Amino acid sequence: MVEPENIEKRLSNNRRFDTIFAVIGLISTFVGMITLAALLFDLSTDGLGRISFQFFVSFPSRFAAQAGILSAWVGTTLVMIVTALTAIPMGVGAGVYLEEYAPKNWFTGLIEINIANLAGVPSIVYGLMALGLFVYQFKFGQSILSAGLTLALLILPIVIVATRESIRAVPSSMREAAYALGATKWQTTRDHVLPYSMGGILTGVIISLSRAIGETAPLITIGALTFIAFLPDPPIKGEFPFVSFDWLWSPFSVMPIQMFNWVSRPQQEFHLNAAATGLILMVMTLLMNGIAIYFRYRFRKRIKW
């Protein structure tokens, strides 16, 4: 039988470790927040004065005062649309299959190991693979389609892992209750497992898209332009069939590459343009994460009711 003195001493040590861990976690959180605040302050100091409506609707120029990010933010938007439409269905579907349907054997274990390893592969490797596969083998060229598919492959392991972890967090008792009421495997997954895990899945998706929006190396590898003074063909047209997919084959540039182009120039005015672009990119990333937090809150609130 454990003596009361030993129990009290053990509880005291546990409380001490809990306090130390809480302090370390709080310090780590503040370090991250202070770093982010310092970065935003630095970008705002340099680039806030350059942000205007004209900056958004102007093409890049060899004159810093007239240069803008029109082609860059349009290219970023179109590339991210292709990335999201490719990576989200494939990643969520693969995660659901591996967690709910796939048999537990050596083959699925090998797939899981490879997915975990792919999540840590440098992005330049995806660029080299996409150059040989999408650009040359499939003849997609140096286009928005190639860029979107490249970034989709880059973030696909992250979406799969996030989906699996969110599904794994759903209690098994919920599945058993659904089976007891006569629900099929798909009905249980669709009506119970996915709604309860959707908050975590959305968080993982937005985090992966936040990584993709800032990638530069794979896009440069497949031939993204550092200077472009025209826009892709519009996806909506005034004549039948009203929808056009010609924009998928258009050359492109994105905001990180535009920043790289401006930073590499010696004039200080172009550096201010790069700071303004970086600030806009940071705000876009924070908005995406804010949207993820909002949807997660809504899903959790709806589940509680």
CA dihedral 73, 77, 80, 81 (to 10 degrees): -170
pLDDT at 5: 64
DSSP codes, 113-125: HHHHHHTTS-HHH
Residue 93 confidence (pLDDT): 92
Q: State the pLDDT at residue 174.
A: 85
Burial (Cβ within 10 Å: 0-12, 13-18, ≥19) of residue 75? buried
Below-50 pLDDT ranges, the chain: 305
Q: Which pLDDT does position 209 carry in this prediction?
A: 87
Q: Compute the distance between CA of residue 163 and CA of residue 200 in angstroms, rounded to an integer.
A: 7
User: CA torsion sign, 261 to 128 to 110 to 196?
Assistant: positive
Q: How far apart are CA 63 and CA 50, in angstroms?
A: 13
Residue 3, pLDDT score: 59
Note every long-range contact of 62-65, with CB atoms under 8 Å and residues 24 or more positions apart, other chains counting: 64/267, 64/269, 64/270, 64/272, 64/273, 65/269
The residues that bridge with 236 in the sheet, in sequence order, are: 243
Joined tokens for residue 100: 């709910």
- pLDDT at residue 92 in the model: 92
- Percentage of the chain modeled with pLDDT above 70: 96
Helices and strands, number each (H, E), in the chain: 12, 0
